[in-house]
Amino acid sequence: MATKAQVLYDFTAEPGNNELSVREGETITITNQSIGGGWIEAQNSRGEIGLVPEDYVELNKPQPSSGGGSVPPLDLSFFDTHVPTPAPAPASNTQSQCNGNDPWAVFDNNASGGFSNNWAAQPEGTETGKNSSNAWGSTSYGHPQAYQGPGAEDDEWDDEWDERKSSGYTEGETGEGGAITRGGAHGSSMKIIGEVGPVWEYPDSQLDCVVADPKKGSKMYGLKSYIEYQVSPNTTNRPVNHRYKHFDWLYERLLEKFGSAIPIPSLPDKQVTGRFEEEFIKMRMERLQAWMTRMCRHPVVANSEVFQLFLNYKDEKDWKTGKRKAEKDETVGVMIFSTIEPEGLPDLELLEVEQKCEQFSRFTKAMDDGVKDLLTVGHEHWKRCTGPLPKEYQRIGKALQNLSSVFTSSGYEGEATLTDAMTAAGKTYEEIAQMVAEQPKKDLHFLMETNNEYKGLLGCFPDTIGVHKAAIEKVKEADKLVATNKITTTEKVTMGKRASTMSYALQAEMNHFHSNRIYDYNRVMQLYLEQQVKFYETIAEKLRHAHSQFTTM
């Protein structure tokens, strides 16, 4: 008997895994519901049959409002003071009506901590009151939360997608507790302080984590395999396990939430074929480590609830609760600016805002070009160092050894010293060939990785800067809007303040970027040169030894 089901989320099959790609909204026919392990077998309208995650499909269930992990399109409607903001409207919070047409119209200059609380508690002057739907906190906890029960398999393939078939609500148990533990200081990190120019407020101790110990796991009785990494934050030293898809989920959350203000670099590329090869796993782990380290270093990201959840979830239940909450977070996109407080900094003139924006745009463009140039050169150098160059040294080595063995065949007395020395010299060049071929992994690799990271980061800036430019244009139109009585002068001032806040956020972010850039390039250049010195010294040493074996005349 054929059961029809509706696809809730896009799912892309991994080749060779008997899976079936499906699209959100598609209707499929379930051909086997008892596969187990979170999978069902289904047939699409084209007659193709394959495995689909059980939780991706549902009979008669309406499509979810916040499906995949894609960034919401940049919504500048919050700048339109006359239209109620449609996009980040909380689905289940009746307070949203109180929000009026301005979700984060003014800034709370109160310097005391707990920004999001103050935000909700202290409406200022003539502005409409802000409500808590814009700060994370209680609103999300009102959503149904999954409870898998104690029998849930710890490492079941798709258990992170199980929340929608939850059988009950356990609101009191989860939520607040976990969130408070993790996100205790998450509000204060959004402050910008200005003693040495606008900078994010940095924590006293730097968060970091170690991504290590990749382990192959399998699901569905070996039908499906995956790699799980241990992530240990320096705060707890307690490892949590995460698969690449969890990192990807985190990335999507961070991008959605912070992408307008903070460049969130992409994760290392997804790769389907060869993903269990040792070399690939090592490389992916290294890149996940670099990505996590960069995220840890960012005070806003590191302190965010979703990031803390990722690093510190106590157990499966905690993880799922936090996941669901993060997915319901409505302080995303440009809304993030409403949570930013430029502490003790005066409002900026539009001209200043514009100049800063242009300056950062020029810089990031120039650096992007510079980084790409270095990557191109580095890539060619890599190819040469691992291809023709060692081949040539090897041929020199072989030619010398060959000549040496011809010499040995001469039958002439007393040339053993020469032939031995020539053979040794030849072998030395073969060793050099190998050194040359292996060297890029020891130095150029890190230079390339760092520049690749920066290429990724810099690639995020055009979007971030685009948000700012659009805001600036809005403010520029304000005079005209005032003249035509479309907005009040007060509203115009408010818009200017918003742009000022955004500019401070951008400046803080650029300063964060610059200090990290200086640190990273200083470190990687030192590493590169250090390894290069060692490389050339070792070659010189080897050749000196080869030289010493010839008779001095």
Asked if residue 379 binds its own copies (CB under 8 A), the reply is: no
Give 240-281 as a DSSP string: EEEEHHHHHHHHHHHHHHHTTTS--PPPSPP--TTTTSHHHH
Q: In whole angstroms, what is the distance from residue 214 CA to residue 247 CA?
A: 14
Q: In whole angstroms, what is the distance from residue 155 CA to residue 402 CA?
A: 59
Q: Is there a binding annotation on residue 395?
A: no
**Three-state DSSP state, 519:** helix
Contact code string over 195-234 relative to its own copies, x by CB under 8 A: -x--------------------------------------
Asked if residue 551 binds its own copies (CB under 8 A), the reply is: yes
Phi first, then psi: what are they for 498, rounded to 5°?
A: -60, -45
Q: How many C-beta neighbours within 10 Å does residue 201 have?
A: 18
Give 367-408 as a DSSP string: HHHHHHHHHHHHHHHHHHHHTHHHHHHHHHHHHHHHHHHHHH
Asked if residue 438 binds its own copies (CB under 8 A), the reply is: no
**Three-state DSSP state, 7:** strand
Asked if residue 373 binds its own copies (CB under 8 A), the reply is: yes
Asked if residue 546 binds its own copies (CB under 8 A), the reply is: yes
Among 421, 471, 481, 502, binds its own copies (CB under 8 A): 421
Q: Which is nearer to its own copies, 170 or 408 (CB)?
A: 408
Among 410, 483, 484, 485, binds its own copies (CB under 8 A): 410
**Three-state DSSP state, 44:** coil
Instruction: Give the binding range for its own copies (CB under 8 A) out of 37-45, 62-70, 151-159, 419-427.
Output: 419-427
Among 69, 72, 239, 378, binds its own copies (CB under 8 A): 378
Asked if residue 536 binds its own copies (CB under 8 A), the reply is: yes
Asked if residue 165 binds its own copies (CB under 8 A), the reply is: no
Residues in a beta bridge with 53:
39
Contact code string over 344-363 relative to its own copies, x by CB under 8 A: ---------------x--xx
Asked if residue 276 binds its own copies (CB under 8 A), the reply is: no
Q: Is there a binding annotation on residue 253?
A: no
Tokens of 460: 């995020």
Q: Is there a binding annotation on residue 384?
A: no
Do residues 128 and 96 touch, judged by C-beta distance below 8 A?
Answer: no
Among 91, 121, 180, 406, binds its own copies (CB under 8 A): 406
Among 30, 425, 448, 487, binds its own copies (CB under 8 A): 425
Q: Which is nearer to its own copies, 207 or 433 (CB)?
A: 433
Nearest to 378 by CA among 474, 455, 488: 455
Tokens of 439: 């060297």
Contact code string over 485-524 relative to its own copies, x by CB under 8 A: -------------------------xx--xx-xxx-xxx-
Q: Which is nearer to its own copies, 34 or 409 (CB)?
A: 409
- CA distances to 201, 210, 448 from 516, rounded to whole Å, are 15, 19, 17
- CA distances to 10, 247, 394 from 250, rounded to whole Å, are 18, 5, 47
Q: Which residues are annotated as a binding site?
A: 243, 245, 284
Q: Which positions lie near its own copies, rule CB under 8 A?
A: 196, 359, 362-363, 366-367, 369-371, 373-374, 377-378, 380-381, 384, 388-389, 392, 395-396, 399-400, 402-403, 406-407, 409-415, 418, 421-422, 425, 510-511, 514-515, 517-519, 521-523, 525-526, 529-530, 532-533, 536-537, 539-540, 543-544, 546-547, 550-553
